[in-house]
Structure formats: structure tokens, C-alpha cells
């Protein structure tokens, strides 16, 4: 179906901006067939999984939600607790099971399950255990819902999104990591706090790894349509680079702070993932910094790697990646972030 005449072109016979503004990711497939009944499966009924499920319920994003977890008693308890709130929520069918067959026909599968780090265990050993866990999760999801979109939330999210892509055999546009969507929200909050404006008026992205090697795109930050750094330079207002780096460090450290205070993060990631689910299932075509197959972007070559970039999301999953300008320094840091992930992946044997 061709788009209506109101969008994508500048005037009669004008330039089609869709092809120019968005660059397709490699090895993408056709959009999944659309249908009216919307079904979401959430894999993992821990703090993060339940925060996501609860937020999806309150935002009326699905006709049916399925919870999957290995702990049958806790799973049933969570299901009953949500079902008992039916009088206060939009009408949504809620099921729960340890059997992946219940996920059949899901439009979106959100994976939050993951092993916890044992005392003295290395990050690589933990990752290896999570890869083993995903070998029991991703293939049945792909088998029962061959047209679904996989949204990976478990950490380390970039590597596990790559693992999910390999295990599922799906085209790259239908395997997405939550990536730096939440990091970017924290980034926008901190900038808004410094400038005393609403965070929704701040456009700012964290890209690369969801972790210590993430990259803050200072060069493209704008507030109310005004590019911040260009404005400061034009007005000859001095700013220190160390101040910018401090804000980025606050973004990186913020999750650790929440975990040290309450033991885990849940609500912010719940809203972040529900936000992604809305854009995908309702074909919103909004731009989100999420983990996508990054080959061919900003000099990333030599191996398959998933990293966060500002991507347009819709019913087909990743519809394209914005051609956002990176400075030479930002592009180098992005490539360094890719190398960090590739070094880890090379030890997985996948």
C-alpha cells in the first residue's frame, strides 16, 4: 500500500524524504501480518517483568497478556493479583504458564528473564549462563509465534539481543533490544533539570552499548528546537566539557544508585518498555534509541553487533535508523563501544 499524499514528499513531484531520512538496517524482512487481536507475552515474572506487564495493562496496549516463568507458584500468584484488579483496568485477558505453548500467536514477545550474578562469578560466566537460558527461551517463542517481534530487556541487553537474533533465525528488524531507551530518558531528565524545562521538550540520545561504553550525542541535543551547544557557542556562553561528562556519568551510574537504594530497578524500565510496545503495536513510527543490528553504520564492520541507535519503530519492528550526524569523536566512541561488545561476543561461541 502506498502512503497517502500528505506525507514524505515536499510538494507535487517533490523529493521523497522517507528514503533520504532513514537508512534501512541489513538483513531485514517484510513486516509481520497485521491482525486486530493484540497479544503480548512477557517472559520472566520478576520485578522488571511484572512492572512491564502492569504498565502495559494500565495503558491498554493489549487484548491478551501471557506471563511465562519457571516458578509456577509465583507465576500463578502474580496472575491472580492482576486478575483481581480487573474492575479497575481495561478489559484484558491475562494468562500465565510455565508452558511456552501459551505464547502461540503473540504479536510481541518481551524477554526479561535472566540469571542473577553469584558471589565471585565473572560477568562472562554470568553471560554464558544467560546464553544457556536463552537457548531454552528463544527457540520455542520463535516456533509458536513465527511472525512475532522479539523485544529483549534482559542484561547485558546488546549481547543477548544478538544471541536472540541468532537463535530465532528472524530477520534483523524483528529482533530489538530495549537498549538505551531508558538511558536516553534519564539523559533528557538530567538536561531538563539543569535547564529547568520539561523533559519532553528535550531531544537527546544516548547511543552505543547499554552500559559503561555508551555514547552521549551532545552535538545533536536540542531544547524546544534550539540546538544547545550551537546556541551556547553563538551566544559566546562558556561551558566546560567536564560538566557534560559529569552528566553522562550520572546517566551511566543512575541504575546502580537505584539498585543500591531499593535493590532493583523496575518502574522506569516498565514505562520505557511499554513505550516501545506502544510504538511497535500501534505503528506509531516514533524514534527510539534501541539496540538494532548496527552493521554499516558509522564505520561498524567486521562482525555482527547490536547497538543502540535512534530507530523508527512500527508494526514491522525496526523500520529504519535516522541519519543523525555524529562528530568524529562521537563516531569513534561509537565504534569503540561496538568493539567492546564484539570482544565479549567472540567468547560465546555462537
| 299 annotated binding-site participant | no
- Helix, strand and coil content of the chain, in percent to the nearest 5, comes to 45, 20, 40
| 69 annotated binding-site participant | yes
| 72 annotated binding-site participant | no
Interaxial angle between packed helices 123-134 and 157-168, expressed in degrees from 0 to 180 and rounded to the nearest 10: 30
* Alpha helix stretches (DSSP H) within the chain: 17-21, 47-58, 72-83, 123-134, 138-144, 157-168, 181-195, 228-234, 241-262, 267-281, 328-345
Rounded Cα gap, residues 207 and 309, in angstroms: 5
| 253 annotated binding-site participant | no
Rounded Cα gap, residues 72 and 77, in angstroms: 9
Check residue 120 and give left, alpha or beta (phi > 0: left; psi -120 to 50: alpha): left
Rounded Cα gap, residues 91 and 60, in angstroms: 8
Rounded Cα gap, residues 166 and 159, in angstroms: 11
Number of other CB atoms surrounding residue 224 within 10 Å: 11
| 252 annotated binding-site participant | no
Rounded Cα gap, residues 46 and 334, in angstroms: 32
| 44 annotated binding-site participant | yes
Q: Spot the catalytic one: 2, 210, 288, 325.
A: 210
Q: Verify whether residue 210 is a known catalytic residue.
A: yes
| 47 annotated binding-site participant | yes
As annotated, the binding site for NAD(+) includes: 44-49, 69, 130, 153-155
Binding residues: 44-49, 69, 130, 153-155
Query: Active-site positions?
Result: 210
Amino acid at each position: 500500500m502506498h502512503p497517502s499524499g500528505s506525507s514524505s514528499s515536499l510538494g507535487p513531484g517533490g523529493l521523497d524524504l522517507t528514503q533520504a531520512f532513514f537508512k534501512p538496517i541489513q538483513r531485514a524482512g517484510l513486516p509481520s501480518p497485521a491482525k486486530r487481536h493484540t497479544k503480548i507475552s512477557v517472559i520472566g515474572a520478576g520485578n522488571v517483568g511484572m512492572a512491564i506487564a502492569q504498565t502495559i495493562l494500565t495503558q491498554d496496549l493489549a487484548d491478551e497478556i501471557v506471563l511465562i516463568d519457571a516458578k509456577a507458584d509465583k507465576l500463578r500468584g502474580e496472575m491472580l493479583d492482576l486478575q483481581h484488579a480487573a474492575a479497575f483496568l481495561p478489559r484484558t485477558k491475562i494468562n500465565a504458564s510455565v508452558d511456552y505453548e501459551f505464547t502461540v500467536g503473540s504479536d510481541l514477545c518481551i524477554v526479561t528473564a535472566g540469571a542473577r550474578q553469584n558471589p565471585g562469578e565473572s560477568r562472562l560466566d554470568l553471560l554464558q549462563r544467560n546464553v544457556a537460558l536463552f537457548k531454552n527461551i528463544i527457540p520455542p517463542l520463535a516456533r509458536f509465534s513465527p511472525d512475532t517481534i522479539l523485544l529483549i530487556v534482559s542484561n547485558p541487553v546488546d549481547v543477548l539481543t544478538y544471541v536472540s537474533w541468532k537463535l530465532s533465525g528472524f530477520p534483523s528488524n524483528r529482533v530489538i533490544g530495549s537498549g538505551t531507551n531508558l538511558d536516553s530518558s534519564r539523559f533528557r531528565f538530567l538536561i531538563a533539570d539543569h535547564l529547568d524545562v520539561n523533559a519532553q521538550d528535550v531531544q537527546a540520545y544516548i547511543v552505543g552499548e547499554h552500559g559503561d561504553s555508551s555514547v552521549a550525542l551532545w552535538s545533536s541535543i536540542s531544547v524546544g528546537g534550539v540546538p544547545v551547544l550551537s546556541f551556547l557557542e553563538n551566544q559566546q556562553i562558556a561551558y566546560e566539557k567536564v560538566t557534560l561528562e559529569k552528566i553522562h556519568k550520572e546517566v551511566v551510574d543512575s541504575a546502580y544508585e537505584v539498585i543500591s537504594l531499593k535493590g532493583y530497578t523496575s518502574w522506569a524500565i516498565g514505562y520505557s518498555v511499554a513505550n516501545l510496545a506502544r510504538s511497535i503495536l500501534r505503528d506509531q513510527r516514533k524514534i527510539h534509541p534501541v539496540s538494532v543490528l548496527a552493521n554499516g553504520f558509522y564505520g561498524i564492520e567486521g562482525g555482527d553487533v547490536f547497538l543502540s541507535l535512534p530507530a523508527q519503530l512500527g508494526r514491522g519492528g525496526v523500520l529504519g535508523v535516522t541519519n543523525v550526524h555524529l562528530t568524529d569523536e562521537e563516531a569513534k566512541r561509537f565504534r569503540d563501544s561496538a568493539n567492546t561488545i564484539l570482544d565479549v561476543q567472540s567468547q560465546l561461541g555462537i
